[in-house]
């Protein structure tokens, strides 16, 4: 029998924060030797973000590059060192930034025995810890490349963002042999770049949406929270 899924974006939807902020805090407090790398990342990437906000560059492309290039922070680190950083970010930053109202909705879906899935451009290793914290075993994120038990500083493409979320979600459903009734399922996201994901289900919910998503949702009669 097909099951109903409840699919949640993470940054901006379940969480008010951003992984970048959590990682920056971790390195400034615990790995000062990497502070120059963090500052260099900010110097090279902040202008890209500003250009995108001024409509001088493609915002989705900038978001994907930002997510992809964050992987450089882990270059040369062991999986254990990466896990230490991810745990610190989750327990000392992300847990405090969770939206309690959206977590309550997630819990309601769990109580209804729906298949709850968290999907995000955030690194999958970190999302797994988030999933453990929220009692959600199904997570889909951007994968970090590991060779000889060390992070290479690269990702395994694609970045889990925009249309790629739909592709990776469909692959996840097939790989795990999940029989999902998408027309009866729910999806929650905050960005207009998540419209392809939201359109995949029968119950899309624009959650703390940006301006473009709010307009699109209202035009199409979608639920908007709050």
Q: What is the pLDDT of residues 100-115, one digit of tens each?
A: 999 999 999 999 999 9
Helical axes 35-53 vs 19-30, angle rounded to 10°: 160
What dotted CATH number matches 5-225? 3.40.50.1000
List pLDDT tens digits, range 64-108.
776 788 888 899 999 999 999 999 999 999 999 999 999 999 999
DSSP 169-208: HHHHHHHTT--B-GGG-EEEE-SGGGHHHHTTSSEEEEES
Greater confidence, 202 or 63? 202
Q: Report pLDDT for 59.
A: 72
Percent of the chain with pLDDT over 70: 92
Q: Which residues pair with 224 in a beta bridge?
A: 206
- Domain ranges for the chain, please list them: 5-225
Mean pLDDT of 174-178: 96
Instruction: Reply yes or no on whether the pLDDT at 218 is more than 90.
Output: yes
């Amino acid at each position: 029998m097909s099951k109903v899924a409840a699919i949640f974006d993470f940054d901006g939807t379940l969480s008010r924060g951003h992984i970048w902020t959590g990682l920056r805090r971790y390195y400034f407090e615990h790995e000062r030797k990497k502070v120059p790398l963090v500052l260099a990342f900010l110097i090279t990437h902040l202008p890209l973000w500003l250009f995108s906000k001024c409509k001088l560059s493609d915002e989705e492309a900038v978001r994907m590059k930002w997510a992809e290039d964050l992987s450089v922070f882990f270059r040369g680190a062991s999986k254990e060192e990466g896990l230490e950083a991810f745990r610190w970010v989750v327990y000392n930053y992300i847990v405090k930034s969770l939206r309690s109202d959206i977590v309550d909705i997630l819990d309601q879906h769990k109580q209804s025995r729906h298949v709850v899935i968290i999907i995000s451009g955030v690194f999958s290793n970190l999302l797994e810890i988030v999933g453990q914290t929220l009692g959600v075993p199904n997570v889909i994120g951007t994968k970090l490349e590991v060779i000889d038990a060390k992070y290479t500083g690269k990702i395994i493409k694609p970045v889990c963002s925009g249309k790629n979320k739909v592709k990776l979600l469909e692959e996840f459903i097939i790989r795990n042999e999940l029989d999902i009734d998408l027309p009866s399922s729910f999806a929650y996201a905050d960005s207009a770049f998540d419209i392809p994901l939201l359109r995949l289900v029968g119950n899309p919910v624009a959650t703390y949406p940006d301006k473009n998503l709010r307009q699109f949702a209202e035009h199409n009669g979608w639920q908007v929270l709050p």
